[in-house]
């Protein structure tokens, strides 16, 4: 039988999954490569594991929300990601949805 800590951790991961997608999209309004994206998210308090980030980036790109390009920087090849036009439109819609849900939840959990 799962413990309270196990249940909490499972629910916490579910909550983070959707919010991390929104955060990644928001950060990719500016072109970044994977490591710089992880750093930018960490600086605002959102840690994300490489094992979660890179599959998410590939999935978002396959959905048409991101574009990517391999380039050499500092004598190393890096894959740079940026929002596509579709990604920009989805970010606006998801941001609106987030704000509405956040407002509602703030009223519920007070």
Task: Give the bridge partners for 33, in sequence order.
Answer: 80
Which domains, from first to last, does the chain contain?
21-109 (1.10.10.10)
Average pLDDT of the chain to the nearest whole number: 94
Q: What are the backbone dihedrals phi and psi of residue 40, each rounded to the nearest 5 degrees, phi first? A: -60, -40
pLDDT over 90 (residue 4): no
- DSSP letter at 76 equals E
pLDDT over 90 (residue 27): yes
The alpha carbon of residue 30 and the mean position of all alpha carbons in its chain are separated, in whole angstroms, by 13
pLDDT at 58: 97
Which residues, 6 or more positions from 20, have their beta carbon under 8 angstroms from its beta carbon? 41, 46, 48, 52, 56
**For range 19-23, the mean pLDDT:** 95
Which residue is it, tokens 């090849």? 77
Residue 18: how many CB atoms within 10 A of its CB?
12
State pLDDT tens for residues 53-106. Answer: 999 999 999 999 999 999 998 889 999 999 999 999 999 999 999 999 999 999
State pLDDT tens for residues 68-81. Answer: 999 998 889 999 99
pTM of the model: 0.88
pLDDT at 95: 97
In the three-class reduction of DSSP (H, G, I as helix; E, B as strand; rest coil), residue 78 is classed as: strand
């Amino acid at each position: 039988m799962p413990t309270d800590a196990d249940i909490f951790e499972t629910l916490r991961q579910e909550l983070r999954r959707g919010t991390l997608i929104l955060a990644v999209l928001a950060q990719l309004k500016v072109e970044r490569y994977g490591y710089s994206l992880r750093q930018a998210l960490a600086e605002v308090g959102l840690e994300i594991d490489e094992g979660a980030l890179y599959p998410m980036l590939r999935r978002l790109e396959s959905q048409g929300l991101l574009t990517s390009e391999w380039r050499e920087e500092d004598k190393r090849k890096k894959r740079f990601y940026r929002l596509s036009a579709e990604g920009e439109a989805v970010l606006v819609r998801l941001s609106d949805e987030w704000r509405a849900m956040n407002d509602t939840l703030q009223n519920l959990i007070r």
